[in-house]
Amino acid sequence: MDRLLAGEATVSNGSLTVVALAAEAGVHRMALQKRHADLKNEFYERVRKETTQVPEPERRLRETVTKLKKTVANQRDELEELRQLVTRLTLASAVLTQEDTASAVPGPMPENVVPLRPPTT
């Protein structure tokens, strides 16, 4: 842990990750993450305190949260637009239905038109 934080990695690439910590310690990364979670947490805590860097997993999570917040905001906007569209389409349908029933009543026929069927009253 001290070698990684000092920037003097000997076995790993020197990144401040659990994978690099496991390589420096000579253990499998899953052993470090599962059996020695306390050491993993201590490592990330020291990374936060002793360096100005944010641990890689935390950075990725923050980026994902930011993207998801944007997606949620976009979906809210789209949902509001769709609600307004439904309202407008409902009103348009009502107007067209009203016009259709109004035009169903026949008006007076001109004198020069002979109906094929007698008008119903």
Is residue 108 situated within a structural domain? no
User: 61 and 49, same structural domain?
Assistant: no
User: 92 and 64, same structural domain?
Assistant: yes
Is residue 116 situated within a structural domain? no
Per-residue tokens: 94: 């009502």
Number of domains observed in the structure of the chain: 2
User: 35 and 23, same structural domain?
Assistant: yes
State mean pLDDT over 1-12: 82
Q: What is the pLDDT of residues 101-119, one digit of tens each?
A: 666 556 676 777 776 776 6
Average pLDDT of the residues of the chain: 83
User: 87 and 48, same structural domain?
Assistant: no
Is residue 119 situated within a structural domain? no
User: 17 and 64, same structural domain?
Assistant: no
Helix (H, G, I), strand (E, B) or coil at 52: coil
What is the Cα gyration radius of the chain?
Answer: 36
Q: Among residues of the chain, what percentage have pLDDT more than 90?
A: 26
Q: What is the pLDDT of residues 40-65, one digit of tens each?
A: 888 888 888 887 777 777 788 999 99
SS (H, E, C) the chain: CHHHHHCCCCCCCCCCCHHHHHHHHCCCHHHHHHCCHHHHHHHHHHHHHHCCCCCHHHHHHHHHHHHHHHHHHHHHHHHHHHHHHHHHHHHHHHHHHHHHHHHCCCCCCCCCCCCCCCCCC
User: 44 and 4, same structural domain?
Assistant: yes
User: 61 and 48, same structural domain?
Assistant: no
Closest CA to 56 of 95, 4, 114: 4
Residue 106 or 82, more confident: 82
